[in-house]
Amino acid sequence: MKHQKTAAAVVAASMLLSMLTACGGGGGEAASSDQAIKTSDDKETADLVVYSNSGDSPDSWNERFGNALQQKFPGYNIKYIQKQSNYGIKELLTAGETIDIYWDSIGGFASGLLDNGLEFDMTDLAKKYQLDLSKMEPSVADSVKLIAPDKMYGIPVFNNNMVLYYNKDLFDKFGVPYPKDGMTWTEANQLAQQLTRVDSKPYIGLSSSQTHMLAMNQLSIPFVDPATEKPTIFTDEKWREFFDTVFVGPSKSPGYVDYMKELKDTIPYRNEFLKEKNLAMFAWLSSIIFVFPDEYKSMNWDMVSLPTFDSLPKVGSQAYPTYFAVTSMSKQKDQAMKVIQYLTTEEMQTKLSKIGLMPVLNSENVKKVYGQESAFKDKNLAASFYNGFAPIPAKSRYDSLLLTPYAKAVPKIIMSGDYNTVFRATEEDTAKKIADAKK
């Protein structure tokens, strides 16, 4: 079925970069891996075009993948095309461009692939080139079947999840003990109360990126009911538990809502944590330190595992893997598959892990070098792997339409406390978006 009504899609365990055991080194291991890349004798030629809706820059592509692939496949001419604001995948295809490899994170992979007719079952190619999914983190490996149970439309190459960052200077300023790995949301909210105060300016104890927390929610709630293709925000009671614990809980500290009013009824976010530096704890993507390295270098910070629900000990966020796919239009499917297979090898996964891309391989040798070639190798990078991954629920091609309305419900709930009214209005809005998309 070429365009499944519901892409029960891409669900896995814990978008882009992440972390694991922040153990030391492996200098010898690094040397042997680099040597293996440089001494590849694969002289086969190919011209491949790679595209992603992520919008990653050519420099980012080359740093992470392009340079290593050129060394491994010296006969391949691999051209990466960056998405532009006014020239994306539809414009490329209309212009007659052939895309051989499509890649994107779990949030946009299914719609980007299926909506453009690029899906291709790679099952036979995976067998031919001995791609072993059993070596991957189980929930990430299982996710490849969630778009279509009997087909393999994408291969996980790197992963991501959520952690809790904290500003050590604010904890020192107010004499409050630092957060620890393994905290619950109850404990984190209690800690936040000690830091939410006014001292020459307002300080806030705890906040989070609501879009990422919703998309990777620990209660594994789907945005869309796979049976009815209707939004779940009003009908699934677990959303109220999630909102109450993660978003409303921190806002109960005196002064929090007053500060939200200063922010025009929004919750504290990136600017308050990285620039204003008056937000003590912030739940965000584990990869984000590599996305905004300069901002993090300017502050005294560390990280711990994402707080957990009292009823779900050691269960962190869902995984957020990024998939690479051979497209249906490629005329060089074998060569494209060789590239993807190489990206999943221990050699390349080790290289990616060292620079701060969370590996998909379930290998301690790969995990222990995570971030060791980054500026943050002395931080508690192991926090990313302290918890297990929450199960990933069914995802539909409409999820991206619902994410922003669901996120906009967060400040409305905090300010009004009226779950029924806000959730009902959000359900009506998002149901209309789904209906319009179906047309």
> Is 15 within 8 Å of 320 (Cβ atoms)?
yes
355: exposed, middle or buried (C-beta count within 10 Å: 0-12, 13-18, 19+)?
A: middle
Pairwise CA distance, residues 322 & 225, whole Å: 24
Predicted confidence at residue 148, as pLDDT, reads 83
Predicted confidence at residue 149, as pLDDT, reads 84
Predicted confidence at residue 291, as pLDDT, reads 86
Predicted confidence at residue 25, as pLDDT, reads 32
- As a whole number of angstroms, the longest Cα–Cα distance in the chain is 66
pTM over the 0.75 mark = yes
For helices 419-438 and 399-416, angle between their N-to-C axes, nearest 10 degrees: 160
Beta bridge partners of 388: 315
Give Cβ neighbours of residue 275 (< 8 Å, ≥ 6 apart).
295
Predicted confidence at residue 42, as pLDDT, reads 58
CA 356 centroid distance within chain: 13
How many Cβ atoms sit within 10 Å of the Cβ of residue 186?
14
In what helix (H) or strand (E) does residue 28 lie, and over which residues does it extend? helix 27-38
CA dihedral over 265, 270, 271, 276, signed as positive or negative = positive
Predicted confidence at residue 195, as pLDDT, reads 97
Mean pLDDT for back-to-back runs of 10 residues, the chain (439 residues): 36 31 32 39 86 92 96 97 93 96 91 92 96 92 85 96 98 97 98 95 97 96 95 98 98 95 95 97 95 94 98 96 97 98 97 95 93 95 94 86 96 97 98 94
Predicted confidence at residue 91, as pLDDT, reads 96
Predicted confidence at residue 111, as pLDDT, reads 85
Pairwise CA distance, residues 223 & 288, whole Å: 24
